[in-house]
Amino acid sequence: MTTDQGPVVQSALLRSELTQLRKERGMTQEQVAKALEWSTSKVIRVEGGKSSITRTDLQALLLVYGVTNESRQERLQSLARGAREPAWWNSYKGVLSDAFLNFVGYEAGSSFIRQFTSMLIPGLLQTREYAEVFSTGIVDATTRGMAIRLRMQRQEELAARENPPRQFFVLDEAAIRRHVGVRTDPAIMPNQLLRIAERAESDDLVTVRIIPFSAGMHLGVYGPFTILEFDGGLSDILFIEGRPDVGADVTVAGDDPLVVDYRNNFETLLDEALSAEESIALLRRAADDFMA
């Protein structure tokens, strides 16, 4: 079995299934450790993703859990091999934050991306020119260049997947009305908006909806967020950018009630948004306004 979900998602799928197998067997982590003559901490690290799983360790676990079906064993071994593969985003480590790169790892293997942004064009929709202007606030030239390159590579890697994810974006009208790049090149923003409109029209996997100013106050004023869904039974992942109560990016697993709250928030935001067709028309009008 081959997969292009990437090592982060394959590792998460493997750990999720192993944990489920243990629970179905009615065993505690301590009992598994005793049966294998491991330390309990090793079992905890394996299930928590703190330690990689060797082929030998995985075979031992499957024996304890009574998994004898050869096709299932091979599928789990395939996930383990994939989890040990180097990730393309590793080249950005040490320059960009681990929290964001961990999110990129999940994003790279997702099957459905839902995202809301209030003031900026989402990274997965940005043109290089827009990304360059957006990144001018990063003082260090190396970090700035890496941030731009990562944004473009994220788009390229998702498009190159055998089964690219569906992408659904909700934007506040403020994100398309600010003339980003006006002092550098006035064409940057209208070109950006036209690129989004063209992609939303031509790509069945991409949907863009705009919340107009006329909608007034809405839940999106509390900040941007992304919800990722996955094939294979993995729980949803919620990524909150710069969450106000902790002052940092936050990644939340699917069993956290916050994920349900934000899924509901996304649906509420959709109720405030224009239709896909109306949103594309607004994007084109906004581009024309910038060029007038």
Is 2 part of any domain? no
List of the chain residues with pLDDT < 50: 1, 246
Give the whole-angstrom CA distance, residue 4 versus residue 2: 7
Say which CATH number the domain at 27 has: 1.10.260.40
Taking the C-alpha atoms of residue 240 and residue 21, their distance in angstroms, rounded to an integer, is: 31
Q: What is the structure's pLDDT at 244?
A: 52
Task: Note whether 71 and 103 are same-domain residues.
Answer: no
Query: pLDDT of 141-167, one tens digit each?
Result: 889 999 999 999 999 999 999 999 999
State whether 257 and 146 are in the same domain: yes
In sequence order, the 6+-apart residues with CB closer than 8 A to the CB of 271 are none
- For residue 235, how many C-alpha atoms fall within 13 Å in the half-sphere facing its CB? 16
Exposed, middle or buried: residue 105 (CB in 10 Å: 0-12, 13-18, 19+)? buried
Give the Cα separation of 108 and 7 in Å (integer).
Answer: 9
pLDDT in tens, 68-81: 999 999 999 999 99
Q: Which two tokens stand for residue 208?
A: 């863009």
What pLDDT score does 1 carry?
46
C-beta separation of 263 from 236 below 8 A: yes
First-residue to last-residue Cα distance in the chain? 54
Domain co-membership, 280 together with 242: yes
The answer to whether the CB of 84 falls within 8 A of the CB of 6 is no
Enclosing domain of residue 224: 90-291
- Domain end marker among 28, 49, 83: 83
pTM as predicted: 0.92
CA dihedral 234, 235, 239, 240 (to 10 degrees): 180
Residue 236: its pLDDT value, please?
95
The CATH number for 138's domain is 3.30.870
